[in-house]
Structure 1
Amino acid sequence: MDLRIQQSVVANLSQRPAPVEVGPFVIGMDPTTTSPHINYATPRPGTTITAADVTALVAAFRAADRRPRLEYVTSCAPELEALLVAAGFSVEARHTYLICVPGALRKPATLDRLSLCEPATDGQRAALISAQNEAFGGDPVASEADVARLRRMQSAGGVAVMAVTDDGTCVGGGGASPPVGAVSEVAGIAVRLPYRRRGLAGAITAGTTRRLFAAGVELAWLESSGEESGRVYERVGYRPAGQRLYIAVE
């Protein structure tokens, strides 16, 4: 399972607007943003990695004026963390990833005066991004580049889901990457503060995942940043499966 997840990450980063190959690594470069959460690298599983490879990776990030950063399934490159730490990287986080298959997905509780839909206009896309940014403590204003990125993701087969009130106000949402090898990552599950504790995060997760399975995805995965979010995902059918590392140069 770890191998399949890591291969999907490699494939998704390779589909970024300006990917960079550096030895055993792929950097998912996007010229429209400097965000380290979008411009990051991952190793190809099963490849030999040396200190010289790490040096070349850092140089590639510096040449692109981006902060060196990686995300990867730890078991697919067990020796890499030590090489990165020796090169000046610091661990940002260790997250559990969870998986779900079609037969395991559960139906969440019915939402009260809230519904789920897919953004079909740039205005709706901007509303979804604003709700996510606000929920995660970022800039609530969605840029044109953010909207274009979401539109491209949907056009490539990815999923976007927004939770709206009766008057059409977006209060949260989430999405999933375009499937690669029948695998897709669910991410960005967010709910604005006044609407939390209503089962909305679980409903968004389930709604996003259901759309993936309807499109032929065999394996959906996502990350849990802690026990509370992990319980939300497990209630709709996800189960813990492995570990991922976030590591960067400060």
Structure 2
Amino acid sequence: MAAFHREVIITVHTDVQSFAVANLLRRPAAVEAGGFVVGFDPTTTSQYVNYATPVPGAEPTDRDVSALIEAFRERGLKPRLEFAPNAAPAVEPALLRAGFTTEAVHEYLVCTPATLAVPAGAIGVEVPAGEEDYVAIDAALAEAFGGEFPASPEGAARLRRTQEGGGAVRFVRAGDGGCAGAALCSAPAEGTAELAGVGTRPAHRGRGIAAAVTAALAEAAFDGGALSVWLEYSGEGSHRVYERVGFRPGGTRLYLALEG
């Protein structure tokens, strides 16, 4: 039984990492180099958009890591990676040798059709109907995250591309016609999809909006063929929200960056 459990956990890690590779390859200017994929997007310099990930099982040489660093440097960007370390155990030591440092270690949660629990209630979750909605969602998420991701025309455009490219964007409309809270989910790849950007404007918190949009997005992903949906969380409050709608512990993702 113990051996079987370990095999299942490794499979989950690999699915998430295989997804990460496939998802970055969708970026407008993706680059493959030495066992890594870098998802460059020329419309933004954000380090949270322009980052790399290793292919599962990668065993990069020092030369491979140097080539990866150069791909970032020649674009004026910080070398940065996000990945599930158990899917490529040789990657972290190679990066640390090159001077990368740990930026963060995040846990991720996984939901399947069998665990999804749609909350009862009358909160209406909507699909964006046009440009005005995408702009409102982008602004609401910027406010929800304290300006860490400033609202911009490019941000609204990325939301539209997500919805029109096989992913999903869902939001709850505020009384003034704008957006009270929202989130997005990638198009499925490798049997899974990533749910991200769950945010509620401060004035609308505590009403179940995050749970409603999270459940709606998971349903949309399953309808689109995903066998699972995963997300990263921060704080016990958000963990409880996701747990209530059916997300369960899946593993960890490691963020590494090269400063200077």
Same fold, TM-score > 0.5, yes or no: yes
CA-CA distance at 1:141 after TM superposition: 5.6
Report if aligned partners of 1:162, 1:172 keep a CA contact under 8 Å in 2: yes
Counterparts of 1:57 and 1:140, CA distance in 2:
25
> For 1:44-92, what per-residue CA distance to the aligned partner results, in whole angstroms no more than 9, with x for missing partners?
0012212221111111100121111000001012232222222222211
Q: 1:60 to 1:140 in 2, by over 3 A?
A: closer
**Quick check: 1:230 aligned with 2:239?**
yes
Query: Corresponding residue for 1:156?
Result: 165
**Quick check: 1:21 aligned with 2:36?**
no
Describe how 1:1-250 pairs up with structure 2 within 5 A. Answer: 1-111=12-122, 114-138=123-147, 142-250=151-259
Report if aligned partners of 1:130, 1:140 keep a CA contact under 8 Å in 2: no
Report if aligned partners of 1:115, 1:165 keep a CA contact under 8 Å in 2: no
Report if aligned partners of 2:15, 2:191 keep a CA contact under 8 Å in 1: no
Counterparts of 1:173 and 1:249, CA distance in 2:
32
Counterparts of 1:172 and 1:24, CA distance in 2:
38
Counterparts of 1:100 and 1:238, CA distance in 2:
4
Code of the aligned partner of 1:126:
V
CA-CA distance at 1:156 after TM superposition: 1.1
Counterparts of 2:100 and 2:165, CA distance in 1:
33
Counterparts of 2:136 and 2:47, CA distance in 1:
23
CA-CA distance at 1:140 after TM superposition: 7.5
Code of the aligned partner of 2:21:
V
RMSD: 1.5
SS of 2:114 mapped into structure 1? helix
State how many pairs are aligned.
Answer: 248
Counterparts of 1:244 and 1:226, CA distance in 2:
15
* The 10-residue stretch of structure 1 (32-41 or 118-127) with the greater mean CA deviation from structure 2: 118-127
* The 10-residue stretch of structure 1 (74-83 or 122-131) with the greater mean CA deviation from structure 2: 74-83
Unaligned runs of 5+ in 1: none
Counterparts of 2:76 and 2:244, CA distance in 1:
41
Unaligned runs of 5+ in 2: 1-11
Counterparts of 2:130 and 2:148, CA distance in 1:
21
SS of 1:129 mapped into structure 2? helix
Q: 1:246 to 1:88 in 2, by over 3 A?
A: same
Counterparts of 1:73 and 1:127, CA distance in 2:
33
Q: 1:80 to 1:141 in 2, by over 3 A?
A: closer
Q: TM-score, normalised by structure 2?
A: 0.90
Q: TM-score, normalised by structure 1?
A: 0.94
